[in-house]
């Protein structure tokens, strides 16, 4: 989708601070980080949210990439992996993304 910011980062049309990319998954640093490590992990194809993902293999690839990146980013004390879905969760970019957050303690429950 040419009007989707994350599709444009995946394709390289817009430069992102990439930390990982393969044939199905791209990960890049959030432009407005909420923690010392804040990486977004997205499918290379445009999927609006996890609610419409419906692809077990791609789901597994996204999660495996997130766990690997947590390791390479040195998040041995823990991390948070979250995908905001729809308006109540505050999803602002309608291209599925996991937030990988780490490098500081997080409160629970989230606001």
Question: Which residues are tagged catalytic?
Answer: 97
Q: Which of residues 73-102 bind ligand 5GP (CB under 6 A)?
A: 84, 90-93
Q: Choose the contact partner of 12 out of ligand 5GP, Zn ion, none; CB within 5 to 8 A by kind.
A: none
Cβ of residue 52: shortest distance to ligand 5GP, in angstroms? 15
Q: Which of residues 13-72 bind Zn ion (CB under 5 A)?
A: 46
Q: Is 7 in the site for Zn ion (CB under 5 A)?
A: yes
For residue 26, the surrounding DSSP H or E stretch is strand 25-29
- Whether 48 and 84 have beta carbons less than 8 Å apart is answered as no
Give the number of other CB atoms < 10 A from CB of residue 12: 11
Q: Which of residues 9-68 bind ligand 5GP (CB under 6 A)?
A: 16, 28-32, 40
- Listed in sequence order, the residues at least 6 apart from 94 whose beta carbon sits closer than 8 Å to its beta carbon are 4, 48, 49
Q: What are phi and psi of 74, to 5 degrees?
A: 80, 30
For binding to ligand 5GP (CB under 6 A), which residues are involved?
5, 16, 28-32, 40, 84, 90-93
């Amino acid at each position: 989708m040419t009007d989707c910011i994350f599709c444009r980062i995946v394709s390289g049309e817009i430069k992102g601070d990439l930390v990982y990319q393969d044939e199905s998954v791209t990960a890049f640093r959030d432009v407005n980080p909420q923690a010392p490590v804040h990486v977004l992990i997205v499918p290379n194809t445009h999927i609006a949210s996890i609610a419409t993902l419906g692809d077990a293999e791609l789901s597994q690839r996204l999660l495996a990439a997130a766990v690997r990146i947590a390791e390479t980013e040195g998040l041995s004390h823990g991390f948070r992996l979250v995908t905001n879905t729809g308006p109540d969760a505050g999803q602002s970019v309608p291209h599925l993304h996991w937030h990988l957050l780490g490098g500081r303690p997080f409160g629970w429950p989230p606001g």
